[in-house]
Amino acid sequence: MDALKEELAAVAARMVVEEGLEYGAAKRRAIKQMGLPARTALPDNTQLDTAVEEYISIFCADTQPAELQALRELAVEWMERLEQFRPHIGGAVWHGTATRRSDIYLQLFCDDSKSAEIGLIDMQVRYEPRSVTGFHGETVDALSVQAYCAALGEHVGLHLLVYDFDDLRGALRADARGRRPRGDATALRGLLQGGAP
């Protein structure tokens, strides 16, 4: 990786960890902060993953493990509540780079796209509907909830991305680093007991 991409990755990593920004937003802000042209070549997500891991090991090693544990426990709780929608977790909470500033991302694989929304209504859970880019670049419905995390003493963003059941088949392919991009509740419980994603 060239020096400029390394520097961009380091600046973006700080934003990911300290502000909870998503990778794309952090890269764009890093370019602006560094005063670089908009068309500057960006580090890829694998490079940013490495920079985030380095940042955490240097600046957050004393607090991040407990924060990650709290977020994973909250995620398991919600995955159990939403079991009928085949929830899978991805993102920083799954990969182990989450801090208290990170949101939780669950992908729901439903037979009917409206069933998750109806399920939240039945549970009397307040949510904000929106559309986001899915893992294949397509637009998917997202239901955003503010979930209280007692261990952190604050609310955490919980985003439920709603996919068709058929999308589950391609959702578990390993990423560029050979990691599973998401896991079910059983896999997450394994991480809570000290396993690797």
Give per-residue pLDDT as tens, 4-52: 999 999 999 999 999 988 898 999 999 999 999 989 999 998 899 999 9
* CA-closest candidate to residue 175, choices 74, 59, 95: 95
Cα angle value 98/102/103 (rounded, 5°): 120
pLDDT above 70: percentage of residues in the chain: 95
How close are the terminal C-alpha atoms of the chain, in Å? 25
Cβ neighbours of residue 101 closer than 8 Å, sequence gap 6 or more:
17, 18, 19, 20
- φ and ψ at residue 105, rounded to 5 degrees: -120, 115
Under a CB-based contact definition with an 8 Å cutoff, are residues 151 and 70 in contact?
yes
The tokens describing 144, both together, are: 């955003």
Which pLDDT band, with edges at 50, 70 and 90, does 88 fall under?
very high
Cα(127)–Cα(183) distance, integer angstroms: 23
Domains of the chain plus CATH, in order, are: 3-59 (no CATH), 64-192 (3.30.460)
pTM of the predicted protein model: 0.88
Sign of CA dihedral 144, 145, 151, 152: positive
Cα(88)–Cα(82) distance, integer angstroms: 10
Q: Which pLDDT value is given to residue 41?
A: 92
